[in-house]
Chains A and B, each alone.
Chain A
Amino acid sequence: EPEVTQTPSHQVTQMGQEVILRCVPISNHLYFYWYRQILGQKVEFLVSFYNNEISEKSEIFDDQFSVERPDGSNFTLKIRSTKLEDSAMYFCASTLEEQFFGPGTRLTVL
């Protein structure tokens, strides 16, 4: 069964460093998303991507975040200068109709 994959599973970084989180969506899906879940809190929408551009973004998705589809398979989330409050689980999702989520990347900012 096709699935969304994400790498790395866990990323530890120092405050102020740049991180790139990677996702491989399901191959025939057209819409891609990033969500985050701060420990013990709700899953929150960050950004959606369609036809090689951002289709919608939340207030959380400020100038320090960016997304890219550098090739036909990968979908990346970059955080330019990480802050302590960026520590969270980051989920990638893709959809044709219902949204399927990847296993997540746990980002720890020290």
Chain B
Amino acid sequence: GEDVEQSLFLSVREGDSSVINCTYTDSSSTYLYWYKQEPGAGLQLLTYIFSNMDMKQDQRLTVLLNKKDKHLSLRIADTQTGDSAIYFCAESPSGNTPLVFGKGTRLSVIA
């Protein structure tokens, strides 16, 4: 079945860039998402990218997609303490099909 893999932990200093990586197995993945989950809270949609795109930028967030290697990354520029959270990568073949999530990467930002 489909699988999404992420590293579990990332620690960065405030002001540095964070790069969270994700790999997926489903070659029919069309929608690739990044969600943020703060402690005790729900899943906040940060951004998503279509598989026919290589890059998407939205303010401090940059998503890079290497479709050949099935590798997705989320770069957060000028990381702040408020960015400390768990970041989930997810994929689906279309906008209406269920998402397959990774286990999430816990980002810790050190002041």
CA distance in complex: A97, B95 (Å): 5
Partner of B45, one of A41, A44, A48, A100: A100
Chain A residues contacting B41 (CB-CB under 8 Å) are 103-104
CA distance in complex: A104, B100 (Å): 18
Query: What is the CB-to-nearest-CB distance from A27 to chain B, in angstroms, rounded to a whole number?
Result: 17
Partner of B42, one of A56, A58, A91, A97: A91
> Using a Cβ cutoff of 8 Å, how many contacts connect chains A and B?
53
CA distance in complex: A43, B6 (Å): 13
- Report if A101 contacts B (CB, 8 A): yes
Chain A residues contacting B96 (CB-CB under 8 Å) are 30-31, 48, 50, 95
- Report if A33 contacts B (CB, 8 A): yes
Interface centre among A43, A44, A100 (most CB of B within 10 A): A43
Query: What is the CB-to-nearest-CB distance from B28 to chain A, in angstroms, rounded to a whole number?
Result: 15
Interface size on B, residues (CB 8 A): 22
Q: Is the beta-carbon distance between A42 and B45 smaller than 8 angstroms?
A: no
Chain A residues contacting B87 (CB-CB under 8 Å) are none
Chain A, residue nearest B4 (CB): A42
- Report if A45 contacts B (CB, 8 A): yes
Chain B residues contacting A56 (CB-CB under 8 Å) are 97-98
Interface centre among A96, A99, A104 (most CB of B within 10 A): A99
CA distance in complex: A5, B22 (Å): 29
Partner of B98, one of A41, A45, A97, A104: A45
Stretch at the interface among B13-21, B70-78, B101-109: B101-109
Contact with A along B38-70 (1 / 0, CB 8 A): 000111110010000000000000000000000
Q: Is the beta-carbon distance between B95 and A91 smaller than 8 angstroms?
A: no
Partner of A41, one of B90, B99, B103: B103
Q: Which residues of A line the B interface, CB within 8 A? A: 30-31, 33, 35, 41-45, 48, 50, 56, 58, 91, 95-104
Q: Report the 9 A-B pairs with minimum CB-CB distance, sorted nearest first.
A: A103-B42, A45-B98, A101-B43, A97-B95, A43-B101, A104-B42, A31-B96, A42-B103, A42-B101
